[in-house]
Amino acid sequence: MRAFDCPVCDHFVAFEDSNCSNCSTSFGLHPPSRSMVTVDDRGALIDGEQWLRCTQAQTTGCNWLTPAEFDDVEKGRRGRCLADSLIRKEPATDDLEARDKLTTTAVNLRRLTWQLIDIKLPIIPYWEVEGGLAFDLLSSATSGEKIIIGHANGVITIDLDESLDEYREHLRASLNEPYRTMLGHFRHEVGHYYQSQLVESEPGAEKYLAECRALFGDEQASYADALTRHYDTGAPQGWRTNFISEYATMHPWEDFAECFAHYLHITDTIDTCREAGMVLRREKMRFTGPAGDIAPLENYDDVPVSWMLHDWKWMSLFFNRVNTSMGKDPLYPFELPGPVIDKLGFIHRVVRDTARATIS
């Protein structure tokens, strides 16, 4: 995650902030410049274009700006920023219990959207094209139906109840998962979306399909049968030698989505370290460590994924030790065997090829 600073005093400000705690400047996040810009009651004039606060500023605390031209319900965005415009369904305004959960969940959606913008993956909203990216954010507790987290034809459904730590932790423990977060759900489900878009259906995607099947398996295998088998018998013996998680063993689609989520976990955390100026000094380590210092690159676009994962190996070791020093579970409780590294390498190549095509 990029580190942001106040446009007036250069004081650090968090991704979700709308005001500087040091000088009280009011600002908003301007995605094209990837920076916070000062705003007043009229918004902000940036390079001759008028920008306004997202209409969700007062409801979910959104601090993003949106072009004034989109302040029109007929244009799909409903005066919302790009991230919030992707919400297709949400709780009614009088459902206060669910709306409170929506506020927390929307932060994770904006973090996901920001990362997708940052790594230059295409975001084509549902209100622009049929099958475009959409999010249904609903609560099992108040909607009158069981909300199942998943993806289908561009629509990602998230159960807002999982924004509650106690509820989510109960599910994590009952499913024997080492990690379960709302941001993790968003990253996993958007992995399904991008597999369908970039590997399976886009013109030219066939160049990836054979390799994807060789690495992850044939996605045409019955998902219903795989689901039943997984919950009846669990992961196969020795799964750790080929998969990132037990859930990844269920079906090739889930393997891809789990690896895609981890790719986003790793790249975003490395970016956060770089933006903070973090460097692990080899000569300061009290154990046998890497051959040299670990200094995160500006980006890993033009290097093998093994370089990025080498840096991550040592950074995650540090973060795991910090967490356990605080009496918490390791931050990244996963191993990356050779086959998983190959899968992450494939995803890295698809993402970077897509980004280059988007830029050109």
The DSSP line for 69-94 is GG--GGGSSTT--HHHHTEEE---TT
Q: Which residues of the chain have pLDDT under 50?
A: none
What pLDDT score was predicted for residue 37? 96
What pLDDT score was predicted for residue 84? 96
For 354, which DSSP code?
H
pLDDT > 70: percent of the chain: 97
Where in the chain are the domains? Answer: 1-75, 86-197, 203-360
| Amino acid at site 321 | R
Look up residue 291 and give its two tokens: 């051959």
Closest-CA residue to 158 (of 260, 89, 252, 239): 89
What pLDDT score was predicted for residue 360? 61
What pLDDT score was predicted for residue 72? 61
Phi, psi values for residue 65, rounded to 5°? -105, 155
> How far apart are the C-alpha atoms of 126 and 134, rounded to whole Å?
5
